[in-house]
Amino acid sequence: MSEQFRSIRGIHDGLPADVRRWRYIEDAAQRVFARYGFSEVRLPVLEPTGLFIRSIGSDTDIVSKEMYRFEDQGGDDICLRPEGTAGSVRAYLQAGLTRSGSQRWFYIGPMFRRERPQKGRLRQFQQIGAEWFGVSGPVEDVEALAMAHAFLNELGIADLSLEINSLGCPACRPAYREKLVAYLQARRQSLCDTCNTRIEKNPLRVLDCKVESCQAQLTDAPEMVSHLCSDCQTHFDALIAGLEALKIPYRINPRIVRGLDYYNRTAFEIVTGKLGAQGTVLAGGRYDGLIEEQGGPSTPAIGFAAGLERLAMLLPDIPGVQPDVAIVAIGESVRVYALKIANQLRRGGCRVIHCGGGSAKRQFKLADREQVRFVAVVGEDEMKSEMLRLKDMQSGEQTDIPVQDAIVCCKRMTPS
RNA sequence: GUGGAUGUAGCUCAAUGGUAGAGCCCCGGCUUGUGAUGCCGGUGGUUGUGGGUUCGAGUCCCAUCAUCCACCCCA
């Protein structure tokens, strides 16, 4: 007795019921993103490790402890991509598109992060992401947000809320950061242990600490949105004006922080209360410095990514396609003939399953379980007369009709 | 990486430390070519895995693995 294999921890199978949801989501993304002029790209799952160290930042959890990283047989340091933006920028530069005007891309694919699995958090998960290169204005920020909003709207998911913030820019963030650190240091004693380490590592992170006693200390903490430089302020104001004009509901959340180093100015999240601790369903923001950081010309950009599995959890079951007709073959003598009939029906555009033979009862049970609308009985009589005995499984009525008529009948009853 | 909960048939769950069961599902049958309800029968388990305590462990103890939930972090 050999041991059965299991999928790797936190890496799950996409079974038919899952994939139906995924496809539903992907189809919505394709439709909506097309309306905004975005084109799909398919980028590598394996990338040089250095790409992420440079792009995301070596101090981040993602890079420092969550990457599937290894040396391949040729001695190259490579890893499974933990997110999609870094690779998109790499591809954008590699293809020499910096002088081709703004580029509007989207992608759908697996990402890998070696974290402890929990609800809405897998080690291999899928993201639907959009990246828009070469645009700097608040207009594009509004459009990107409107596109994200339209996408989720298309899915019909209720009770989502959009939260926005500005992270400032290299001109105003350092001064704000100093002010915040001073504020936090004055309250060191009252903050939790993790927050104390965050003061040096990533002080902004303290702002969204979940510990109540910490939040109590932060009621009048300085917020980035009230320390923006005039350019950032103008940008933020225009973003808000755009959202208002499009009547997209939003909430300014000064506590939104980005874990990844490359973000600046606009940052946003769309969250649900229905997924426990992993309620962020879509998140993104502006990353004006990343392309230059990767060695390209200074190029502004904005993007977002949505978690496919998280969205899927918010969707009801999606019914699979049902066959129109099941072939029930009676007797050995019609074996080959029944196969031909099945294909003839398929060529005519019907979805056909073949019940495989055996007793009529067995085959009817099978057909019933598949919830087909019709059963076409093929026996010696039918073979001789080139007819089918077509039974409507809902009404129980059955009639003998020519094969061609059966095709028409089955197709008409189940349109799509 | 840290903490908590849970692992018994394909699924949902039973079984005072004393022979592992039920329901559903699945397979076959209830005369010859007709399904959903009915009746009969059947397959299926080294109780996640490995140790230990005991005359005896599904049950108690330890370890390990997996799943779930939370922290951390993030989509």
ipTM of the complex: 0.87
- For A386-414, give one letter per residue: b (16+ CB within 10 A) or e: ebbbbbebeeeebeebebeebbebbbeeb
User: How far is CA A16 from its chain centroid?
Assistant: 17
Strand partners, A280: A271
Tokens of A26: 């992907």
d(CA A135, CA A265) in angstroms, rounded, equals 13
A362 C-beta less than 7 Å away from strand B: yes
Nearest to A115 by CA among A105, A125, A106, A103: A125
Reported CATH class of domain A16-172+228-313: alpha beta
Rg (C-alpha) for chain A, rounded Å, is: 28
Nucleotide with minimal C1' distance from the CA of A116 is B1
A81 C-beta less than 7 Å away from strand B: no
Reported CATH class of domain A325-413: alpha beta
CA distances to A9, A38, A93, A247, A404 from A173, rounded to whole Å, are: 40, 31, 27, 30, 73
A10 C-beta less than 7 Å away from strand B: yes
Containing H/E element for A48? strand A46-48
Tokens of A398: 């059955």
Nearest to A358 by CA among A329, A385, A336, A380: A329
Burial class of residue A374 in the structure, from the number of CB atoms within 10 Å of its CB (0-12 exposed, 13-18 middle, 19+ buried): buried
d(CA A109, CA A336) in angstroms, rounded, equals 43
* A209-CA/B56-C1' distance, Å: 54
- For residues A165 and A252, the answer to whether their CB atoms sit within 8 Å is yes
Q: What is the pLDDT of residue A1?
A: 38
- Name A residues 263-302 whose Cβ lies under 7 Å from strand B: 269, 276-278, 280-283
Instruction: List the single protein residue with the shortest CA to C1' distance from B1.
Output: A116
Low-confidence ranges of chain A (pLDDT < 70): 1-3, 412-416
Q: Three-state DSSP class for A109?
A: strand
* A140-CA/B64-C1' distance, Å: 53
Helix H, strand E, coil C: the string for A375-409 is EEEECHHHHHHCEEEEEECCCCCEEEEEHHHHHHH
Q: What is the pLDDT of residue A332?
A: 85
Q: Where are the domains of chain A?
A: 16-172+228-313, 325-413
Nucleotides on strand B lying under 7 Å from protein C-beta? 1-3, 26-30, 33-36, 46, 65-75
Nucleotide with minimal C1' distance from the CA of A388 is B33
Match 């040729």 to its residue by tokens. Answer: A74
- Name A residues 130-189 whose Cβ lies under 7 Å from strand B: none
A310 C-beta less than 7 Å away from strand B: yes
Crossing angle of helices A49-56/A85-94, nearest 10°? 110
Containing H/E element for A110? strand A103-112
A368 C-beta less than 7 Å away from strand B: yes
Instruction: List the single protein residue with the shortest CA to C1' distance from B2.
Output: A116
